[in-house]
Amino acid sequence: MNIIVCVKQVPGTNEVKINRETNTIVRESAEAIINPFDEHAIEEGVRLKEKTGGKVTVLSMGIPKVADLLRETIAVGVDDAVLLTDRAFAGADTLATSYALAMGIRKLGEFDLIICGKQAIDGDTAQVGPSLAEKLGIPHATYVRKIEEIRDGYMRCQRMTDDGYEVIEMPLPALITVVKEINEPRLPSIKGKLKAKKTEVKVLSAEDIGADLNLCGLKGSATQVIKTFTPVHEVKAEMIDGTAREQARTLVDKLLSMQFVKRT
């Protein structure tokens, strides 16, 4: 089975400190990591390959430095790593990202399954997966927590819903996005680490994948960020003092008088 896993580099923390005087953001420089959900996507890809044979390719669109992170994935069982990098990709929203990924995937050739993370923790949009599936004209299932069966041209999986899960059957090739419950990612092996060191990450430009520059990056993005600001939590907590008993009483008084908690 030929599996492609889409991974994104994200900042290792999303703590944004706010300078209260200037009301600007002080970002502790944190190292970049692979989006945590994508680690689970990689693990699932590797497990499927171990079961059915074939190969796993990780694919990312990002800055040249992402190559280092991609190379590390070889150590957990990935076979090939491909990085789409080009100034023309900068500023891509989810539409332009999925366009570039789709062009990259077409360039890579035949595949059976694409696995994405549920969402990337920097933007939390969860849009690239379904959007990419549409661009490739293949079916998709989001929030997959278990693959029940997979074979040539067919898969059955469990997809989380708001109050449980449902079982979905679809033909391959298809795309799934995975949640954390699907597996526990393994640690890299020593042998894998050695192999990773020797592996060359394949780097492709917009031209290499035949992408239309008008559909890439900022230019190809339908959405534009016009303002960013730090949320101000102006509520000043009203502190309730006293013994546990007194605190409980005062709070209940307040809630009842505000009618947020109603007598039955």
Partner 1 sequence: MINIIYEKCIGCGLCVRECPFNAIKLEDRKAVILDNCTLCGSCVSSCKPGAIDFQKDKADDSEDFSKYRGVWVFGEQKDNSVLQVVFELLGEGRKLAEALSVPLSVVLLGSEIEEQAKTLIAYGADHVYLVEDKSLENYNDESYSDIFTQLINKFKPEIVLIGATAYGRSLAPRVASGLNTGLTADCTELGIDPETKNLLQTRPAFGGNLMATIICPNRRPQMATVRPKVMKPLEADYSRKGEIIRPDVKIPENLQVKITETVHTVYEKVSLAEADIIVSGGRGLGDAKNFELVRELAEVLGGAVGASRATVDAGWIDYSHQIGQTGRTVGPKVYFACGISGAVQHLAGMSSSDIIIAINKDADAPIFKIATFGIVGDVLEVLPELIKEFKARLG
Ligand X SMILES: Nc1ncnc2c1ncn2[C@@H]1O[C@H](COP(=O)(O)O)[C@@H](O)[C@H]1O
Ligand Y SMILES: Cc1cc2nc3c(=O)[nH]c(=O)nc-3n(C[C@H](O)[C@H](O)[C@H](O)COP(=O)(O)OP(=O)(O)OC[C@H]3O[C@@H](n4cnc5c(N)ncnc54)[C@H](O)[C@@H]3O)c2cc1C
Which parts of 103-122 interact with ligand Y (CB under 6 A)?
121
Instruction: Report what 35 binds from ligand Y, ligand X, partner 1, none; CB cut-off 5-8 Å by kind.
Output: ligand X
Quick one: which segment of 57-65, 184-192, 214-222, 250-258 binds ligand X (CB under 6 A)? 57-65
Specify the residue, 74 or 121, whose C-beta has the smaller distance to ligand Y: 121
Helix, strand, or coil (residue 29) = coil
| Helices of type H across 13-88 | 36-52, 66-73
**Distance between CA 110 and CA 249 in Å, rounded?**
67
Q: Which residue type sits at 182?
A: I
Q: φ and ψ at 206, to 5 degrees?
A: -60, -40
Quick one: which segment of 46-54, 68-76, 90-98, 194-202 binds partner 1 (CB under 8 A)? 90-98
Specify the residue, 118 or 159, whose C-beta has the smaller distance to ligand Y: 118
| Near ligand Y in 23-42, by CB under 6 A | 36
Specify the residue, 233 or 262, whose C-beta has the smaller distance to ligand Y: 233
Helix, strand, or coil (residue 156) = strand
**Distance between CA 120 and CA 34 in Å, rounded?**
9
Among 97, 142, 158, 183, binds ligand X (CB under 6 A): 97
129 binds ligand X per the rule CB under 6 A: yes
Specify the residue, 227 or 245, whose C-beta has the smaller distance to ligand Y: 245
**Distance between CA 157 and CA 165 in Å, rounded?**
10
Looking from the CA of 228 toward its CB, the CA atoms found within 13 Å total 7
Instruction: Report what 264 binds from partner 1, ligand X, ligand Y, none; CB cut-off 5-8 Å by kind.
Output: partner 1
CB of 154 to ligand Y, least distance (A): 34
Quick one: which segment of 51-59, 105-113, 125-133, 185-193 binds partner 1 (CB under 8 A)? 125-133
**Distance between CA 48 and CA 55 in Å, rounded?**
9
CB of 37 to ligand X, least distance (A): 5
- Torsion of Cα atoms, 210 then 213 then 215 then 220, to 10°: 150
Q: φ and ψ at 217, to 5 degrees?
A: 55, -150
**Distance between CA 89 and CA 42 in Å, rounded?**
23
Q: Which residue type sits at 133?
A: A
Specify the residue, 226 or 239, whose C-beta has the smaller distance to ligand Y: 239
Instruction: Report what 143 binds from ligand X, partner 1, ligand Y, none; CB cut-off 5-8 Å by kind.
Output: partner 1
Q: Under the rule (CB under 6 A), what is the footprint of ligand X?
A: 6-8, 35, 37-38, 41, 60-62, 94, 97, 101, 116-117, 119-120, 123, 125-129
